[in-house]
Amino acid sequence: MYRIVDVREISPKVQRMVIDAPLIARKHQPGQFVIIINTEKGERIPLTVADKNPEKGQIVVIFQEVGKSTTEMACRKAGEYLFDVVGPLGKATHIEKLGTVVCIGGGVGTAPMHPITRAMKEIGNEVITILGARNKDLFTMEEEMTAASTEIRFTTDDGSRGRHGFVTDELQSIIDSGKKIDLVIAIGPAIMMKVVCNLTRKYELPTVVSLNSIMVDGTGMCGACRVSVGGETKFVCVDGPEFDGHLVDFDQLMKRQQMYRTEEAIAMNKYNEEHPGGCCGGHHD
Ligand code: NAD
Ligand code: FES
């Protein structure tokens, strides 16, 4: 059992949860994730660790309320216990001094990007961060990402903050400025990562992406997370979550992400019927 230290909504339907998990806090490296099981009968929810405090023995996860399980988890309170937190899982990011690294965080994909950005800067890279969101209220971890970056730029789909456009428009501007880029790292919706990779492929810029496939066990046993990378089948949970973005079959990834859409909608509708106004009456403490 893992104690919830704090849980709060940081933007609409996006929660930041601090969890007592001393062993994970000590061992976790940038890029790795955990699987959270909220209650004994709960689903396994894979979430990348957004921050940690090894001295306090705490980890931070940021998650979006997208279905029944994450909605239920958002209603947990500080002082309560999660049934299980498994991890750290997956391979750590390869952190190396390369020169200039562009870190792109799309929406809630910014959270897993945070420890990577920080580590890339700490080792001596110039880190240019691009954060993209649908509107100005949807940026997550802005303060932390500013501290973790040499320079930070913002884009919004509706133009309410920073550049009016997508993260790829800002990346194109950096490329057009003639700046030498040694590595691009992109984390966000699959479509964003696909479009980033299409752009960087044209300029032969090495690009790493972190994939959020459907997962069950998280240990390489079930095959639920399989993706095609360079024509080979890989398991995101043990071979990733990070891969060379130019080799990933994003169309297959997106298709597989939709696999349980109908079942998820049925579960969510049933949940809403049973909990009108949400499990905590629509109010978070
Ligand atoms: P979103 O749909 O609001 O997109 C965020 C940003 O991505 C946009 O503002 C835009 O700049 C960029 N983007 C989106 N579509 C694009 C396109 N076609 N071309 C270029 N850029 C594009 O994101 P959100 O709703 O905040 O995030 C939710 C998504 O992020 C979910 O799909 C979730 O699964 C995914 N996610 C991924 C990871 C990961 O590890 N890869 C982690 C957390 C969440
Ligand atoms: Fe089962 Fe990766 S989640 S093999």
Taking the C-alpha atoms of residue 73 and residue 279, their distance in angstroms, rounded to an integer, is 10
Ligand 2 pocket member 235 (CB < 6 A): yes
Would you state the pLDDT for residue 201?
98
Which pLDDT tens digit goes with each residue over 151-184? 999 999 999 999 999 999 999 999 999 999 999 9
**If you average pLDDT over residues 247-253, what whole number do you get?**
96
Closest residue by Cα to atom 43, ligand 1, is: 109
Question: Quick one: pLDDT at residue 94?
Answer: 95
- Residue of the CA atom closest to atom 44 of ligand 1: 109
pLDDT at 280 over 60: no
What is the rounded average pLDDT of the residues 57-73? 90
How does pLDDT run across 140-151, given as a tens digit for each residue?
A: 899 999 999 999
Q: Which of 34, 43, 215, 257 to mutate to test the pocket of ligand 2 (most atoms within 8 A of CB)?
A: 215
DSSP H helices, the chain, are 22-27, 68-74, 110-122, 142-148, 167-176, 190-202, 236-239, 250-257, 261-274
Q: What is the mean pLDDT of the chain?
A: 92
C-beta of 112 in contact with ligand 1 (< 6 A):
yes
- Between 47 and 285, the higher pLDDT residue: 47
Distance from the alpha carbon of residue 101 to the mean position of ligand 2, in angstroms: 30
Q: How confident is the model at residue 135 (pLDDT cuts 50, 70, 90)?
A: very high
Higher pLDDT, 134 or 272: 134
Mean pLDDT is lowest, of 1-10, 106-115, 274-283, for 274-283
Per-residue pLDDT, 185: 98
25 touches ligand 1 (CB under 6 Å)? no
Q: What is the pLDDT of residue 258?
A: 78
Does the pLDDT value for residue 137 go beyond 70?
yes
Query: Is the distance from the beta carbon of residue 253 to the nearest atom of ligand 1 less than 6 Å?
Result: no
Burial class (CB in 10 A: 0-12, 13-18, 19+), 255: exposed
Nearest to 188 by CA among 219, 216, 233, 157: 157
Percentage above 70 pLDDT, the chain: 93
> Would you call 53 helix, strand, or coil by DSSP?
strand
Residue 282 is predicted with a pLDDT of 47
> What torsion, rounded to 10 degrees, do the Cα atoms 121, 123, 124, 125 define?
-50
Give percent of the chain above pLDDT 90.
79
Strand, helix or coil for residue 238: helix
pLDDT at 283: 46
Q: What pLDDT was estimated at residue 285?
A: 46
Centroid of ligand 2 to alpha carbon of 269 (angstroms):
27
**Nearest bound ligand to CA 89?**
2
Residue-wise pLDDT for 198-216, tens only, equals: 999 999 999 999 999 889 8
What residue's CA is closest to ligand 1, atom 30?
189
Q: What is the pLDDT of residue 261?
A: 67
Query: Residue 140 in contact with residue 110, Cβ under 8 Å?
Result: yes
Which of 117, 157, 163, when mutated, tests ligand 1's pocket best, judged by the most ligand atoms within 8 Å of its CB? Answer: 157
Joined tokens for residue 16: 């930041």
Handedness of CA 201, 203, 208, 213 (dihedral sign): negative
Ligand nearest to the CA of residue 224, numbered in listed order:
2
| Nearest atom of ligand 1 to the alpha carbon of 155 | 11
Separation of CA 110 and ligand 1 centre (Å): 9
Instruction: Select from 117, 26, 10 the least CA-distant residue to 62.
Output: 10
The number of the ligand 2 atom at minimal distance from the alpha carbon of 221 is 4
Give residue 77's pLDDT. 93
What's the rounded mean pLDDT across residues 254-270? 72
User: What pTM does this model have?
Assistant: 0.91
In this predicted model, what pLDDT tens digit does every residue of 87-102 receive, in sequence order? 999 999 999 999 999 9
ω before 241 within 30° of 0 (cis)?
Answer: yes
Question: Cα separation of 1 and 20, whole Å?
Answer: 9
Please give the Cα distance from 32 to 92 (Å, whole number).
5
